[in-house]
Amino acid sequence: MTDDVDTQVSDRLVGRVLDGRYRVGARVAKGGMATVYQALDMRLDRTVALKVMHDGLGDDAQFARRFVAEARAAARLSHPNVVAVFDQGDDDGTLFLAMEYIPGRTLRDVIREQAPLPPARALGLLAPILSALSAAHDAGIVHRDIKPENVLIADNGVVKVADFGLARAVSATGNTATQGLLMGTVSYLAPELVTDGSADARSDVYSSGILLYEMLTGNKPHSGDTPIQVAYAHVHADVPAPSLEVPTIPPYVDALVQRATARDRDLRPADARVLSRQVHRVRSALEDGLPDDPELTGDLTVPIQQIRQDSGYDDGYTRDVPTLAGENGHVLRHDTIVVPVEKGRPTGGPATRVQAPPPRRGRGLVALVLILAAAIGIGTAAWYYGIHRYTSTPNLVSMVPAVAAAEAEKAGLRTTLANQDFSENVPKGQVVSTDPAAGDRIRKNGEIGLTVSKGPERYRVPQLAGLELEAAKNALAPIKLNAGQIVEQYNETVPAGRVIAFSPKFDTVVKPGDAVNFVVSKGKKPITVPDTTGKSYQDANRQLRKLGLQVGRTEQYDEKVPEGNVISQTPNTGTLFAKDKVQLVVSKGPPLQDVPDVKRKSLADAQKILTDAGFIVKVEKAPFNLGLNIVAAQNPGAGKKAQPGSTIVITVL
């Protein structure tokens, strides 16, 4: 694909929303199968890495089914050194994976900039890779495409392995869009992937060994003018000791590399966990500063030729592989890796006619016999190494293992229980898939790996109430549930940010990928404090309590505020929460004054004195009034306190 086309593809996807959820951002990287973009998951408001398969792959139904199956298998891997797969989707033929976004760089960048790496550093990088592969192998998953580009190193130093299962998804389809994709990764292919396409955990072990060799030396162990030459070098040539390029490498590191990269997979560590234990021993020796450890070196060294001879090892090829010239002049080999040929460019050189020397009688007849013999030999070799040694894998899906074994035996094949997997369609205990798949080529007397159904994958919703929202989301990840709609509400008892309620409810049985909706607390509802100054205490108290606030009361005299009305409040503005208190200061009216003594005063004088003091005067006559108009009594009495404006009653004679 040209740069112009790349730009068009980038422009077409950037800014687009896939599956109504993922807004595509900047392009991060481009590989043989897909382009990776930084994207925003608009549902969960988080950054993800979106791996978008190249155009054409989504049109192949077989690839699409395999892609979905492998994505689901990868999503089951929950490990700190595995790039998490969150989601997979198909947006109108555009297949994509939503994965954990890892800001950082790849192991390829480290090798390019820093190799050869010291053995301790190289093994330190390999250890987390093997940890990730160990988890995968324990789950019955083979990566198939371990290479520096698939190893990410985050900015915080954490090493993560990406793209579990994608190589298997691609290799399982016959779509021409996927032809030749092994060209980019051929430097790390195990021999068995070249010869018959079969892979198990030991294939990942081999690729890991090649990875270690490249970190230690800065170079790949095999080279060639074409990818096919490199592929067959894996089949026919042992990986050299890295100390041949870097003499300071200890013998036990050499032995580790050569043990992991043994061409006969039976001689390699059984899986990544076994190799990881060997790496641990080698790292310990390096930490101890040992230039050599004969015992460790001996434990790791494999007498390859002797064991092959004793076990009758046969890699299926002679040193001189039969070749046949194709129509375009390029070499075809049996069990070849398909390598794409650029259009308009012949693979072979121009045909050149060479004038033959004059024929000699006798020699011509001998030459003809030799040519015929060679042709027969090549044809026989082609038949033996091609058609004769292989058969087709029978369809064993939906059979119980015992019946599947019997059917395989009829075809001259064996079965093994390789894995268990969930299935929505195949009942529990029946075969859900095989490796190789039905119809795929397999060596006669070969072994078919059976994946047996565990029935539909179901989980129970855990108790999430009271958890922080992020903790609740994390609790969903191991059971493959997604966070759905998130609604926020005020709540007087649940702290802000914690889950008030969720649906489906606790202990409900759900499918992987189902959404759990959350109601999340915003904390207590804030109450805007009203201003009640000047209102009667009764009205102010009623208004504040209706809002859910408590009311406190104190009283004081005030010349301006009528008795019983609010003089001031604390607080007088802002916000409070339910059951918070507002303190009111209520007026008792003006301050009290002393009542003057008007007894024995004349009525006129008494009225004037009391009126001048601010009181109202009420006059009453004594029962035996003599008409003297002299004050005989007053109420309140002299010296008592009364509010200005209140009434003073005087009795006159």
The active-site residue, picked from 60, 87, 145, 204, is 145
In sequence order, the 6+-apart residues with CB closer than 8 A to the CB of 32 are 181, 183, 184, 185
Pick the closest to residue 453 from 431, 425, 424 (CA basis). Answer: 431
Peptide bond into 346 cis (omega under 30): no
Pick the closest to residue 517 from 476, 478, 479 (CA basis). Answer: 476
The Cα-based distances of 96 to 71, 145, 179 in angstroms read: 10, 18, 19
C-alpha 614/C-alpha 598 separation (Å) is: 14
Long-range contacts of 421-425 (CB under 8 A, 24+ apart): 421/73, 421/140, 421/451, 421/452, 421/453, 421/454, 422/453, 422/454, 422/455, 422/456, 422/457, 422/512, 423/453, 423/454, 423/455, 423/456, 424/456, 424/457
Is 60 one of the catalytic residues? no
Buried b (16+ CB within 10 A) or exposed e, 576-606: beeeeebebbbbebbeebebbebeebebeeb
C-alpha 65/C-alpha 97 separation (Å) is: 14
Residue found by looking up tokens 């039905």 in the block: 438
526: which 2 tokens?
């804030």
Pick the closest to residue 452 from 486, 384, 402 (CA basis). Answer: 402
Largest CA-CA distance found in the chain, in angstroms, rounded:
185
Other beta carbons less than 10 A from residue 422's beta carbon? 17
**DSSP code per residue over 522-535:** --SPPEEPP--TTS
The Cα-based distances of 575 to 542, 571, 580, 650 in angstroms read: 18, 9, 10, 54
Catalytic positions are 145
